[in-house]
Structure 1
Amino acid sequence: MPYTAGPYAGLPGGPGAPGGPGAGPYGQPPRRTTNGLAIGSLVTGVVCCLPPLGLILGLVALPQIRKRDQEGKGLALAGILLSVLSCLLLLIGVATGGISAFWGGFKEGMDEAARTKSPFSLRTGQCFTPEGKLEAYATDVTVVDCDRPHIGEVTGGFKVTGFDKWPGEDAIDRIAEKRCETINSGYAMDTWAVPADVWVYYYLPSGQSWRLGDRTVTCAFATEKKPFSGSVRSDATLLTDDQAAFLKAVNPIETVTYREPDEDPDEDFTANKVWAMELLAAINTAHAGLGQRSWPAESAPSVAALRKELAAASKQWLKLATAADADAYWEAYDQAWDALPGDLGADARTALDLTGTPPVGGGAGEGASA
């Protein structure tokens, strides 16, 4: 069948007509492309990123543009100019120290951003300062080096279990108070090294975060007063066997003393008797525990002296714990406290290279929450 010409037959580049390589539709000249290296040169020059690279890209782009009849000469020239200026600024900055100062500020800003965390992303051993007051609910805290002044130090944490729905803050608070006291006791066994105004503290999940799956309680030592410096960590990994054994024996005595009921025995006799019995048990356990170990020669005499004091205290606390009524309790009360060694073995602690002086005002006490 003979070929039938279409409406564009005979037009240069039209169907059925000769068309040179690269001819556009309807015989129009091809569109000129923009050289990619020229674009790269301009972009690199504008953002001041690796200025020598922008200069090289621009110089390579110019002959390519002429040879290929491309667009982008102005872009390449602009990129070359900006790159030259960037190179000059870089050299000046290096010579004057400006680049170092800029980079130092930039790095400090990045480090600061990296140190800002949610309380629930804190990890054991990190020291922190909250944004705002400690007692307020915190959404952001800043992690700092423990050698610098800080408000709190994370001792550990746990996940709340046993609830199908939000149990309320009071329920979690009761769990956190007991669990965090135990966690903190294991984290800072050398309790006398903890400043007097630093207490057990914890961050609780809120009702809103609970609905999003948050079940974590973060335990810490923290202060609402003057920031403290230095880590309070003295767990079993940092202590000798002798140090750990001594503290495990005597620390429960200190812990129970903080639990004395607020009500007088006249108001709640049963609660006071129960507490006195707990302290008696702690005294007897410490006396037995200290006697089950062979102590180093330099500490053995002071440990033996402490055991003798504990034996005498046990007799007085037995009278207190078995008092028949409130009047008998009050009669035995002062004698029991006088018999209990107030320093809980300061000489033995010093001999074992532990903190030999209690913090002014007492040691770590009860918890608070946020």
Structure 2
Amino acid sequence: MPYTSGPYAGQPGGPGGPGMPGVGPYGLPPRRTTNGLAIGSLVSGIVCCLPPLGLVLGLLALPQIRKRDQAGRGLAVSGIVLSVLSSLLLVIGIATGGVGTFWGGFKEGMDEAARSKSPFSLRTGQCFTPEGKLEEYATDVTVVDCERPHIGEVTGGFKVTGFDKWPGEDAIDRIAEKRCDTINSGYALDTWAVPADVWLFYYLPSSQSWRLGDRTVTCAFAGEKKPFRGSVRSDATLLTDDQESFLTSVNAIEAVTYREPEEDPDEDFTANKVWATELLGAINTAYAGLGQRTWPAGAAPSVAALRKELAAASKQWLKLATATDADAYWEAYDPAWETLPGDLGADARTALDLTGTPPVGPAGEGASA
């Protein structure tokens, strides 16, 4: 152990003591050092990609070892021998094409390792396939090109805040469902470009990862039953102003239709009336939003026709939203749905270079209402 204090700390060396050339502390001979080039030669000789370097380092090390009376001659000789053998193998490999095969396999292995990630290291826009079954928590996923079959596509993520300790999976799940729904909606504004069997999905922290500081929720679209091809991304960075304005106006109608209460108005009249009022608001907002923009000549007639349909639908949905009881609600229910354009402007979408056909589900039915 080196001294940092005491009678010998900072003292100049004297005869037979510290500091005397060729003599170690307390009169002992100094420890023989190992030549660094010899060590480098052995390491380079072992590493298959550096045999010439190992040969050079070994040849330089031998005279230094003799001149400085250092240790490491055996290391240098071993490095030279290994380097010569490795160099011969390298030359043979180049001549026979074996190096190319090896390097190709090595690169493929490195690429595969780079694609294997934790779900929480995924980045927005990456497509992936989980190791094993699609589930809420996984330890490994493989990143793939979005044009290849994949199970999921990352839409974004967020950090869970507001909890001093593990709040339980149910609490995080409620937060994730709402936040990821908003993130997914902004990521795929062209909803008809999303396959019918691809749905909202997210990875949650586990109680174990939470204790290690993990607070990340990763949001995604994921195939429920089978892989899909192609990216579903159609956010503001990829759309024109006209496309974004159109989709922002009409998407709310589609979103609200999916939230219709499961209970009939006879069972829960209030919930159904609240939902009808919400859908009426979405229809009126879309009508106003589509009227605030000057559309390209090719799309203007289709947008105008859609606004006319929305105006007619608004009148019928007003009757539904203001129904005084369940009987009145049922009386207005079918006429309201009949006036709502089921395609939500397919001609206008096509004219704006958006997806003009709703995704088809397993039974051949369109995904939109």
Q: Classify the secondary structure of the residue corresponding to 1:358.
A: coil
Matching residue of 1:226: 226
1:50–1:316 Cα change, 3 Å: same
User: Aligned pair 1:154/2:154, yes or no?
Assistant: yes
For the residues of structure 2 that align with 1:49 and 1:178, how far apart are their CA atoms?
A: 53
Matching residue of 2:189: 189
TM-score (normalised: structure 1) = 0.84
- Cα deviation 1:11-34 (Å, max 9, x = unaligned): xxxx99xxxx9799xxxx999876
Between 114-123 and 32-41, the greater mean CA deviation after superposition: 32-41
For the residues of structure 2 that align with 1:123 and 1:43, how far apart are their CA atoms?
A: 38
Paired letter, 1:188: A
Paired letter, 1:129: T
**Pairs within 5 Å for 1:111-260:** 111-260=111-260
Alpha-carbon distance, 1:94 to partner: 1.9
Contact 1:44 1:50 (C-alpha < 8 Å) held by counterparts: yes
Contact 2:32 2:71 (C-alpha < 8 Å) held by counterparts: yes
Greater Rg over alpha carbons, structure: 1
For the residues of structure 2 that align with 1:160 and 1:212, how far apart are their CA atoms?
A: 14
For the residues of structure 1 that align with 2:206 and 2:22, how far apart are their CA atoms?
A: 69
For the residues of structure 2 that align with 1:134 and 1:123, how far apart are their CA atoms?
A: 18
Paired letter, 2:347: D
Contact 1:188 1:233 (C-alpha < 8 Å) held by counterparts: yes
Alpha-carbon distance, 1:153 to partner: 1.0
Alpha-carbon distance, 1:82 to partner: 2.2
Alpha-carbon distance, 1:364 to partner: 8.7
- Cα deviation 1:32-59 (Å, max 9, x = unaligned): 8766544543343233341112222333
Contact 2:265 2:329 (C-alpha < 8 Å) held by counterparts: yes
Contact 1:303 1:345 (C-alpha < 8 Å) held by counterparts: yes
For the residues of structure 2 that align with 1:116 and 1:234, how far apart are their CA atoms?
A: 26
Contact 1:196 1:364 (C-alpha < 8 Å) held by counterparts: no
Between 195-204 and 105-114, the greater mean CA deviation after superposition: 105-114
Paired letter, 2:310: L
1:71–1:273 Cα change, 3 Å: closer
- Cα deviation 1:91-145 (Å, max 9, x = unaligned): 1222232222222222222222222222222221111111221135212222222
Paired letter, 2:244: A
Matching residue of 1:306: 306
**Pairs within 5 Å for 1:309-324:** 309-324=309-324
1:34–1:266 Cα change, 3 Å: closer
Matching residue of 1:360: 360
Q: Classify the secondary structure of the residue corresponding to 2:307.
A: helix
Alpha-carbon distance, 1:293 to partner: 0.9
Alpha-carbon distance, 1:163 to partner: 2.9
Provide the aligned C-alpha RMSD in A: 3.0
For the residues of structure 2 that align with 1:248 and 1:216, how far apart are their CA atoms?
A: 28
For the residues of structure 2 that align with 1:30 and 1:151, how far apart are their CA atoms?
A: 66
1:47–1:326 Cα change, 3 Å: same
Contact 2:137 2:205 (C-alpha < 8 Å) held by counterparts: no
1:36–1:126 Cα change, 3 Å: closer
Contact 2:136 2:203 (C-alpha < 8 Å) held by counterparts: no
Alpha-carbon distance, 1:85 to partner: 1.6
For the residues of structure 2 that align with 1:82 and 1:355, how far apart are their CA atoms?
A: 63
For the residues of structure 2 that align with 1:56 and 1:218, how far apart are their CA atoms?
A: 52
Q: Provide the identity percentage.
A: 87
Q: Classify the secondary structure of the residue corresponding to 1:142.
A: strand
1:126–1:23 Cα change, 3 Å: closer
Between 291-300 and 207-216, the greater mean CA deviation after superposition: 207-216
Return 5+ residue gaps in structure 2 as ranges: 1-14
User: Aligned pair 1:53/2:53, yes or no?
Assistant: yes
TM-score (normalised: structure 2) = 0.84
- Cα deviation 1:296-322 (Å, max 9, x = unaligned): 100000000001111111112112212
Paired letter, 2:177: E
Between 85-94 and 73-82, the greater mean CA deviation after superposition: 73-82
